[in-house]
Structure 1
């Protein structure tokens, strides 16, 4: 079915790095079958799940800079959404390899976009670079202090890539516009759900669907997080392609934080798990009590507002996961 968002998408040739990932899948779904748009969907090991008449598919190891350069040579726009999962369980198992891989992939994609003179590159950054701050964090606070705890290495990697992108946008011959989107915790269909890789939200969904008893929650469950559906993140990228110039950075979030207990309650309710048993492990390590991000800049400059409510997004994600297991 043709999407109803064509007024947001500039016409031309798109190269989407990371087309089989969470955000990449939703971006590809919004691009498919759009008039005046062709897409090269690039993935590594998995083929993209979205197909369309205007979509070509390529598989490549994006740690190879020459491959990135070759794939983007005819691009008007580059969406650099590729990377490996770097959730807390992944970093606990190996605190170096995911950071190193993501650094190589991000720099290669952005450099290839510049060398090929594209009209605009959007890189999917993250909020891991922010220090531990109270209140709604704004973009200018990224370097106020070090990233907290286990996010130190990943956060500084994120900061470096953003500075590299700014260099590509301002300090080199023939600079190109680069926009860095800093999404809060992304979730949605096509997420990673296994306990070895998953962030807390898809991990909870998996445990509910498998009817685990009890469902264990580390800490009190009162930790608050802003979570955003992947479709809204993809939509923000296309808004940025139309409106942002030079170097820009934006928080992309739902705009409201919910505690873990509330999100787990919604998951149980949506999946009719009425007799769920919840156990809080108070002796386990607990993360920051609250993480919230201001989206005022994205609202003002891009016209961005999240459209997928938490309840709708969870329902869609639960339904998708049930169909795939």
Structure 2
């Protein structure tokens, strides 16, 4: 694993993506890492990793840790799953604005050279194929209208700073599809689609009901691949960039794979019509293919198996 020697700060270091990054760069010679967390300490230790508990919504906490920093990886933020947004679409936006605004501004203020941000595809409008340049065209779907426009704003903000006439901070932005993997949230409303299914199947219910069409498609990407891609494009000039698996899967196919891996009878799965409007859109991965021609993603079967094994070992 090659990463330029220097001083790095990882925000959101105890979450799924932050943990996968720390696993990749721990004990690298000359790579000094401050691993920032708010509640739970990082799960990865290393002689080059220094964990620090900090509330990043407060500017005074950031100055001392950002001094002499070369690169910031930002994975911090409040989760805004569909279930969360259905109950409260405002609070996640409020907290994420506080986090992102304070973080980006203080990185720029303290002369951070590179700002790496795992953004979101929520800014895209509902259309068949979305290319990177379509991100700011029309409005995001109603289901995540607010969070989508918030994402657009902060991408614009980082791009503006990236091109600032007197004081630049290079921004590297990736827009991933649905990320899954070890260290994810498996319980409650903050659990995304795949970890939620795994947790529900683990209870061995008599039947398993899903609301929506079995033919709806999802593009998913393994968390370890997100990190590998980030590190591969770090020195390239291809930001912003969509990243995902090279094909999408029907919901029924994903669920059946999980059932098979967990020895659960797929015949117990029942699909019912959802009250919510069906939203399907694809986004282009041509830019990813052009810049990562030799990249081989983790297969869905391998990624799901890793995720399931981790969950079974660590479930509550």
TM-score by length of 2: 0.95
CA distances 1:67-117 after superposition (whole Å, capped 9, x unpaired) = 233322121110011111110111122111111111221222222222222
* Cα drift, residue 302 of structure 1: 5.3
* Cα drift, residue 275 of structure 1: 6.0
Q: Distance in 1 between matches of 2:137 and 2:176?
A: 19
Alignment of 1:165 with 2:158, yes or no, is yes
* Cα drift, residue 197 of structure 1: 1.4
Does the CA-based 8 Å contact 2:128-2:283 persist in structure 1? no
Q: Distance in 1 between matches of 2:194 and 2:277?
A: 15
Match of 2:62 in 1: 68
* Cα drift, residue 207 of structure 1: 0.9
Match of 1:184 in 2: 177
Match of 2:207 in 1: 214
* Cα drift, residue 179 of structure 1: 1.1
Alignment of 1:311 with 2:301, yes or no, is yes
Match of 2:17 in 1: 23
* Cα drift, residue 159 of structure 1: 0.1
TM-score by length of 1: 0.92
Does the CA-based 8 Å contact 1:251-1:295 persist in structure 2? yes
The list of structure 1 runs, each at least 4 consecutive aligned residues, that deviate by more than 3 angstroms after superposition, is: 301-306
Match of 2:41 in 1: 47
Secondary structure (helix, strand or coil) at the match of 1:266 reads helix
User: Aligned Cα RMSD in Å?
Assistant: 1.7
Does the CA-based 8 Å contact 1:205-1:267 persist in structure 2? yes
Match of 2:260 in 1: 269
Distance verdict in 2 for CA 1:303–1:51, change over 3 Å: farther
Query: Of residues 181, 194, 197 in structure 2, which corresponds to 1:204?
Result: 197
Distance verdict in 2 for CA 1:143–1:304, change over 3 Å: farther
Secondary structure (helix, strand or coil) at the match of 1:178 reads strand
Alignment of 1:151 with 2:141, yes or no, is no
Does the CA-based 8 Å contact 1:217-1:279 persist in structure 2? yes
Match of 2:91 in 1: 97
Distance verdict in 2 for CA 1:303–1:40, change over 3 Å: farther
Does the CA-based 8 Å contact 1:73-1:116 persist in structure 2? yes
